[in-house]
Amino acid sequence: MSALATPIDLSGWQAEGPGKWQLGAPGSVTQTRNEAPTVFFSSDPAQGLSLSGQLQVDYAKDNDVIGFVLGYQAGDLGASDVDYLLIDWRRSDQSRYGGRAEGGLAISHVTDRLDENSGAWWHDPAQGVEELARGLTLGDTGWDPYTSYDFDLHFTATGVELFIDGIKELDLAGNFADGGIGFYNYSQRNAIYSGLQFTALAADDSGSIPAPTSLALLLAGVLGLGLSRRRR
């Protein structure tokens, strides 16, 4: 049976941090400022969902960070004693705050406030950001400007998977706190997230993350009206 996806109504999502998140066409948002860490997120619990769409940076004179947050609670960005996951993708290597931030894709566990310091910059555990894994093929490869990337992000209580252009980049097992899902930017303007859709996931007998299923029908009342065929 073909998987069904629900287009996302972003009007109820929230922004935190100094970024400026501008809604565009339905299911599209652009972050326009070169600022400290900022997030744009849904406060609804996201475990059991796949978030898919496209991401692109329409700016070539910068080389900073775009990405996602998982298990995020309102206020986490500036709070201590937090528990969520951060996926960030940096365009190129950069040295600052006493260390070197590697270009490429990574996933980290965040336990303290995200600010302009070594935690957000180069995943310093002493500042509450512990890197857990790097992308399987993009771990040391940054994003290219003016290039659209398809993404598919799966989140459950026991696993995270991220596909970029159909290639699995992250496959992390663990026990993860539930919470919202959203987008993350650090010092990177003109980051565009578009074509955004949610699809429900159903755990198989092994507990691993399977492909999205038509259980997305159950989400229609929560995530918005109107089902459409998932983009592929």
At 15-62, the pLDDT tens digits run 999 999 999 999 999 999 999 999 999 999 999 999 999 999 999 999
φ, ψ of residue 10 to 5 degrees: the values are -85, 0
CA distance 139 to 93: 12
Residue 2 has pLDDT above 90, yes or no: no
Does 213 or 135 have the greater pLDDT score? Answer: 135
pTM reported for the whole predicted model? 0.87
Residue 226 has pLDDT above 80, yes or no: no
- For the chain, the structural domain boundaries read 4-222
Name the average pLDDT for the chain.
Answer: 89
Q: What is the DSSP letter of 182?
A: E
Does 232 or 145 have the greater pLDDT score? Answer: 145
CA angle 123, 95, 16 (to 5 degrees): 50
If you average pLDDT over residues 3-14, what whole number do you get? 93
What is the identity of the amino acid at 107?
Answer: I
pLDDT, position 130: 98
Per DSSP, what are the bridge partners of residue 105?
Answer: 89
* 161-212 pLDDT, tens digit each: 999 999 999 999 999 999 999 999 999 999 999 999 999 998 653 345 555 5
CA distance 142 to 137: 11
Residue 224 has pLDDT above 60, yes or no: no
Does 59 or 93 have the greater pLDDT score? Answer: 59
Overall size of the chain counted in residues: 232
If you average pLDDT over residues 100-120, what whole number do you get? 96
CA distances from 218 to 74, 199, 224 (A): 25, 10, 11
Residue 217 has pLDDT above 70, yes or no: no
CATH of 4-222, one of 1.10.260.40, 2.60.120.200, 3.30.1490.120, 3.40.50.10330: 2.60.120.200
Residue 142 has pLDDT above 50, yes or no: yes
Of 211, 58, 209, 54, whose CA–CA distance to 144 is shortest?
A: 58
